[in-house]
Structure 1
Amino acid sequence: MAPQSRPPSRMAPLGMLLGLLMAFCFTFCLSRQNEEFALTNPEKSSTKETERTETKAEEELDTEVLEVFHPTHEWQALGPGQAVPAGSHVRLNLQTGAKEVKLQYEDKFRNNLKGLKKGKRLDVNTNTYTSQDLKDALAKFKEGAEMESSKEDKARQAEVKRLFRPIEELKKDFDELNVVIETDMQIMVRLINKFNSSSSSLEEKIAALFDLEYYVHQMDNAQDLLSFGGLQVVINGLNSTEPAVKEYAAFVLGAAFSSNPRVQVEAVEGGALQKLLVILATEQPLAVKKKVLFALCSLLRHFPYAQQQFLKLGGLQVLRSLVQEKGTDVLAVRVVTLLYDLVTEKMFAEEEAELTQDTSPEKLQQYRRVHLLPGLREQGWCAITAHLLALPGHDAREKVLHTLGALLATCRDHYRQDPSLGRTLASLQAEYQALASAELQDGEDEGYFRDLLGSVESLLRELR
């Protein structure tokens, strides 16, 4: 019996559909693995293709020979396949889409290349070179710079060693040269020995005193002079028969006394005050008396004990005779200045005691034992200071005017009875009024002559 034929199955179209679907899925998976067969946007595909091409071109640059591009300090378009030297600056022109290049630091780049001549030679073909050549050149450039920096450091260290040598080497050199580094104390001892030596010449003695004066300006050095008896040696130099020795010995003493109470005390106890007064009271060259008066002023200022001894030894009489000598106007001005300082010192001590409400400090008690103003009145200093107002020179008049004002309470009656003083003050008033007016015209509101005019007018008001 012949078989019967089957009618066409309904599943055939469904099977074909499933087969097509499987084929599509297989194709899609392959496209995900290989972008070349993927169904993508044509623009994106083109972009990726370009990137792959550039990457491949860059990889090929490592082995192929590049055309050298020589940049300048101006921006220039960089062509395809051209190599850029080290030290160049590259940018992308957003308007044209082209790469542009220029030298980033042209002068610095050239100087660095020149500097390589001092280090290792840089073998670079000026026409063509590869990227590996550029890397090697950069490495050599850094190596050359490091070598140059190392040479500079060594040179700097050598210069420092040359200028600043260790103290051990200096001492060794000094020992070889028989040079001894002396302290101030050792120098002063040597100078005193030179001055006190009987074998030293007059010139050597004077030179020793001149050098010694430089050192005793320092307070500590002046006090060190006491420790080995140097101060007394200089004081004894005031007894010398040589005027120059007296002059420079007084010069040293004046520098050592200045604002140094310890040295002042030792000097008074060592007889310096008497010796200074003796020189001023006897006939001596003017240069000697100048230095001796300088030493006396340094010894008396801010030292009330020495001021007491000065009055007891007849110091005011000595100074009166000194200012009355002919040709001693310079000394007269210095004496007047000294008297002004001594009077005002005592006044300031009294004022300070009132401000601090301490009526019995030790220093004030010492000043109260100095009867300077009565001594000035008894010794005729009221008339002497009034007469000195006729001295020429504005500086001398200024000092005398200040002293007249300081002595006003003591000498008021004498000043009122002195007609010559009134005439002198009136003459000075007219003179300084004219000078003060000239100062005002020059734009000086508070000038020197205006101050002098104020002092004159103040005295005139007090004496009316």
Structure 2
Amino acid sequence: MMFGRPKAGPSSHLKNVVILVVFSLHFVDILTDKSLSALTVVDNPESTVEDEEVHLDGEGDTEDLEVVQPTLLWQTLKPGQAVPIGSHVRLNLQTGQREVRLGEEQLKYLGDKHREVEDNGKAPLFSTQELKNALKKLKEGVEPETTEQEETAKESVRSQFRPIEELKKDMAQLDILVETDSQIMARLVAQFNGSSASLEERLKVLLDLEYLVHQVDNAQNLASMGGLKLVIESLNSTDHRMQENAAFVLGSALSSNPVVQVEAVDSGALQKLLTMLATPHPMAVKKKVLFALAALLRHFPFAQNHFLKLGGLHVLGELFRGTGGEVLRVRVVTMVYDMIMEKELNSQTGLDIIPDTAHQERLHQYSQISLLPLLAEQGWCGLVPELLESPEHDWREKALRALLAMLRPCRGHFQHDRGLTDVLGALRGQYQELVVMETSLGEEGGYFGEILDLLNTLVLRLK
């Protein structure tokens, strides 16, 4: 975008001429003052090495110095000659002589017709009579005459720029187009809820919302404007892509956001998510639904209690046992482990901090959760050890942590499970070798060493 160029005033040309008059008067000052010039040391006349300010002192009184009038071209300075202030002086290393031409500041004030190089290679300067006439016209207020060619050139320059009024209108329009996140979400919700919106448009709206709701404030604004209920209702869609995207948006909005968690429970999200996990759906849908369920239950004891009352632990057990659900097993076990550790950590923290009403209420809600007994009753003591048979180190690590967390209700079952004893013994031997290899590579206390510590701790506690 190019901005308009302001018009030159009627007397701008005369002002430029007056500046040149003042500049010309500097020539007289050379008779009383020493001149400062830029000295350029060159290896040849075409290449410049370095610039530095120097004093060109005459070989006698300044009144006896001959003042050289610089031009656009380089000319040789003779001994005893001086130059006007602002001229460009250099030392030619091939000839050993100093050379001078007009400086940059001087060139700025020269008119186009005075900067053209004549056939003889020299640029003419303003004559004394020209300067006097220009000064006289300036005093009389006479506007300088312009030729038809100059007017055409001015019009050509004006045509290259847009008027400032048009630019202001464009800027105002840009201000209108700037939207806040809240305005964008309101527009997306309206587009999603529109009767004319196609399936592809709704899918795109859900993806755009998922990007926005990662911010806590945006997720809360989505809930306050009714968008969260639309997302939850979309879980009932018959299109699997719509279900997957809706669960993705819901999980992102619920993550570490208590306000949205409460709104989701009140809107019936917990029941819908459990129903989707308990009924046949593509694996991609179940992954996103499990993600949303974990986000809803995390650090929310009220929702965890309702989850257990609605048979959520049984739903997860069936999901663990289901054919083709191997990729979901580690997620299910991780969710169970997180719920166990949340209650344990909150109970321990309550002994050290200053009690308040909110914390007391949280402790009360966690006390109503009977997760460990239900795990033993519903066969989880035999389910979790199956994860140790996986070749994935990450899966084994999560299974070992879950087994240690479930040790109190499952100790008897673990001690009498010969298969678990054999697996633990084989894994200890395998990870001892991996730790030796890890140590030889200079990685003491590495990942394999951590898994070996978990194995040793579990074996020791089962004795």
TM band (smaller chain): 0.5 to 0.7
Instruction: Name the CA distance, whole Å, in 2 between partners of 1:453 and 1:365.
Output: 37
Q: Which has the larger radius of gyration?
A: 1
Give runs of aligned pairs for residues 408-447 of structure 1, distance below 5 A. Answer: 408-447=407-446
Q: 1:112 to 1:395 in 2, by over 3 A?
A: farther
Q: TM-score, normalised by structure 1?
A: 0.66
Q: Deviations over 1:104-131 (max 9, x none)?
A: xx9xx889469838846689x999xxxx
Distance 1:167 1:438, change over 3 A: farther
| Compared CA separation, residues 371 and 173, structure 1 to 2 (3 A) | closer
Q: CA, structure 1 residues 191+441, in 2 after alignment: closer, same or farther (shift >3 Å)?
A: same
Q: How does 1:315-354 map to 2 (within 5 A)?
A: 315-354=312-351
Q: CA deviation at 1:350?
A: 1.2
- Size of the alignment, in residue pairs? 349
Asked whether the equivalents of residues 89 and 101 of structure 2 are also in contact (C-alpha less than 8 Å), the reply is no
CA contact (8 A) 2:88 2:102 kept: no
1:201 Cα deviation (Å)? Answer: 2.3
How far does the alpha carbon of each residue in 1:220-259 deviate from its partner, in whole angstroms, 9 at most, with x for none?
1111122222211211111222222211111111111111
Match of 1:171 in 2: 172
**Structure 1 pair 254/115, CA: closer, same or farther in 2 (3 Å)?**
farther
Does residue 116 in structure 1 map to residue 113 in structure 2? Answer: no
Q: Whole-Å Cα distance in 2 between the matches of residues 89 and 247 of structure 1? A: 76
Residue 273 (structure 1) aligned with residue 264 (structure 2): no
Residue 405 (structure 1) shift: 1.7
- Map residues 353-372 of structure 1 onto 2, 5 A cutoff: 353-356=350-353, 358=355, 361-372=360-371
CA distance in 1, matches of 2:67, 2:291: 96
| SS of 2:248 mapped into structure 1 | helix
CA distance in 1, matches of 2:121, 2:82: 12
Q: Which amino acid aligns with 1:255?
A: S
Q: Does structure 1 residue 83 correspond to structure 2 residue 74?
A: no
Match of 2:141 in 1: none
- Bigger helix share: 1
Please tell me the residue identity of whatever aligns with 1:445. E
Deviation digits for residues 180-199 of structure 1, max 9, x if unmatched?
A: 44332232233223333343
Amino acid at match of 1:185: S
Q: Decide which moves more: 212-221 or 300-309.
A: 212-221
Q: Which has the higher contact order (CA 8 A, sep 6+)?
A: 2
Answer yes or no: is 1:306 the counterpart of 2:311. no
Residues 197 and 111 of structure 1: CA distance in aligned 2, closer, same or farther (over 3 Å): same
Counterparts of residues 121-140 of structure 1 (less than 5 Å): none
User: Are 1:261 and 2:258 matched, yes or no?
Assistant: yes
Deviation at 1:304, TM superposition (A): 0.4
Counterpart for residue 282 of structure 1:
279
Structure 2 residue aligned with 1:207: 204
RMSD: 3.7
For the Cα contact (< 8 Å) 1:69–1:84, is it kept in 2?
no
In structure 2, distance between residues paired with 1:113 and 1:289: 74
C-alpha distance in structure 2 between counterparts of 1:371 and 1:215, whole Å: 36
Measure, in 2, the Cα distance between the counterparts of 1:218 and 1:335.
26
SS in 2 for 1:356: coil
Q: Which amino acid aligns with 1:171?
A: A
| Residues 64/416 of structure 1: CA separation in 2 closer, same or farther (3 Å cut) | closer
- Structure 2, unaligned stretches of length 5 or more? 1-58, 123-161
Q: Aligned-pair distance for 1:341? A: 0.9
Q: Which residue number corresponds to residue 35 of structure 1? A: none
The equivalent residue for 2:458 is: 459
Say which SS state the counterpart of residue 361 (structure 1) adopts.
Answer: helix
Equivalent pairs: percent with the same residue?
46
Residue type of the alignment partner of 1:232: K
Partner Cα separation in structure 2 for residue 299 and residue 63 of structure 1: 89
Q: How many angstroms does 1:440 deviate by? A: 1.2
Residue type of the partner of 1:421?
A: L
Query: Where does the alignment leave 5 or more consecutive residues of structure 1 unmatched?
Result: 1-53, 72-77, 91-100, 128-160
Shift of the 115–367 alpha-carbon distance from structure 1 to 2, 3 Å rule, reads farther
- The CA distance in 2 between the partners of 1:300 and 1:327, in whole Å, is 25
Indicate the residue corresponding to 1:296 in structure 2: 293
Q: Deviations over 1:321-361 (max 9, x none)?
A: 00101221111100111111111111110111112264972
Residue 389 of structure 1 aligns to a residue in which SS?
helix
**Contact kept in structure 2, 1:232 and 1:270, CA below 8 Å:** yes
Change (3 A) 1:355 1:457: same
Distance change >3 Å, CA 167–CA 70, structure 1 → 2: closer
1:274-294: per-residue Cα shift (whole Å, max 9, x none)? 010001001111111111101
1:242 paired to 2:239: yes
Counterpart code for 2:172: K
2:107 partner amino acid = L
